[in-house]
Amino acid sequence: MFSKSIRKDHYGYLFIAPFFLIFFIFGLYPIIYSLYLSFTDWDGFGQPVLVGLQNYQRIIGDFFFYKSLFNTLVIWGVSVIPQLTISLILAVILHEKFVKGKSLFRAVFFFPNIVTAASLGLLVGLIFSWQTGSFNQFLMSLGIISDPINWADKPNFMRGLVSSILFWQYFGYSMIIYIAGLQGISKDILEAAEIDGASKVKVFFNITLPLLSPIILFQVVTSIIGGMQIFDQPYTLTDGSGNPDNATLTSVMYLYDTAFTRYQYGYGSAIAFGLFIVIVIFSIISFTTMNLKTKQGKA
């Protein structure tokens, strides 16, 4: 019935070839090329001039790089904590057996994720615009304020606004991932706990949460990687300026401005690699802390 040796066809490689071809051309090549550029000074005309580590030296003393990193972390942190907790709660509720209209709610919560980030930034920008924004008009019609407030002039408010957009956009997405994770938890365990008389809260903390930890780790890591790359929302919200006082200037906006409006490709590439290192560090931190927790849990 079985032939002596296993047939090794190479057709498989053909099937995976398109992805790798595209990845090499549009993914790997630009990454390596920008690594090269990060050691040069280049404005796009003529040949790049090698300058050694000069760009990296500039980053180390670059106030705006740190500020943009700080902004990114603040915006990310303020959006991601409620995003990951509220979506978990929603996921658990919508995973309950006796909730009516589950699929409707799942869909509705997911809808914001479909909207283009750039248009959300524009829309929110219009709502909070100084003289004609509907939010100010609303407050004025209620008599809470008499003069319109210049929201775009308040650094922390604008950071918060970007965070809220991100939260609103991604909590549905996180919820769907959690639901998928919840469906992977064996019903036997839950039923056993129920029969043993465990309350819902106890089940959640002692069974659901530990069993969901790989999903939570996945969410944290992807949100770190995504969060460090926040760009569209603050860019369109502030017309690309990152104002007020550069409070909404995220790292990727800073990279974009450097490379594509000031045409300092060398320094722009160096910022990209600086950002890459930061992302790697944060990913390692989250991996190790999560792993420690699960190990502790097992022990």
Partner 1 sequence: MNMKSSVLPMIMYCILASILFGCSSSSSSQEKEELTIWTFTDEARYAVEKFEERYPNVNVNLLFINNDNYLQKLISVLQVEKNVPDVFFVERTYWPQIRDIPRLENLTQSPYNAEEILEQQFEYIQAEEKDENGIVRGLGYQGTPGGFYYRRDLTKEFLGTDDPEEVSELISSWDKIMDIGERVVEESNGEIHALSSWSAINNVESSNIEEPWIVDDKLTIDEARVHTLDLAKEAREREIVAKYESWGPAWTASMQQGTVMFYPEPTWGLPHIFKNNAPETAGKWGLAHGPKPFSGGGTFLAMYKGSQKKDLAWKFMEFYTTDEEFLKELAESQQYFLSNKNINQELAPTLTSEFLGDQKYFDFFVEAGEQVSSVPQTKYDNDINSLWDEKVNDFLNGRLKTKEAMIESFKTEVGHHFPEIEVD
Looking at 132, 141, 146, 296, which residue binds partner 1 (CB under 8 A)? 132
Instruction: By CB under 8 A, tell whether 58 contacts partner 1.
Output: yes
Q: Which of 144, 276, 282 lies closest to 224 in space, CA to CA?
A: 282
Instruction: By CB under 8 A, tell whether 222 contacts partner 1.
Output: no
Looking at 113, 150, 213, 283, which residue binds partner 1 (CB under 8 A)? 150
d(CA 224, CA 105) in angstroms, rounded, equals 27
Q: How many chain residues are in contact with partner 1, going by CB under 8 A?
A: 22
Angle at 68 between CA 245 and CA 23, to 5 degrees: 140
Instruction: By CB under 8 A, tell whether 45 contacts partner 1.
Output: yes
Instruction: By CB under 8 A, tell whether 96 contacts partner 1.
Output: no
Q: Smaller CB distance to partner 1: residue 164 or 241?
A: 241
CA dist 205 → 2, 163, 199, 208, 264 (Å): 51, 28, 10, 6, 51
d(CA 253, CA 277) in angstroms, rounded, equals 17
Q: Smaller CB distance to partner 1: residue 90 or 117?
A: 117
Instruction: By CB under 8 A, tell whether 20 contacts partner 1.
Output: no
DSSP string, 34-66: HHHHTTEE--SSS--EE-TTHHHHHHHT-HHHH
Which are the contacts of 34, defined by CB distance < 8 A and separation ≥ 6? 269, 272, 273
Kindly state the smallest distance separating residue 219's Cβ from partner 1, in Å.
34
Looking at 129, 164, 213, 229, which residue binds partner 1 (CB under 8 A)? 129
Instruction: By CB under 8 A, tell whether 63 contacts partner 1.
Output: yes
Looking at 260, 277, 285, 294, which residue binds partner 1 (CB under 8 A)? 260
Q: Smaller CB distance to partner 1: residue 93 or 126?
A: 126
CA dist 204 → 9, 194, 200, 210, 211 (Å): 48, 11, 6, 9, 10
Binding site for partner 1 (CB under 8 A): 44-45, 58, 62-64, 126, 129-132, 150, 153, 241, 243-245, 258, 260-263
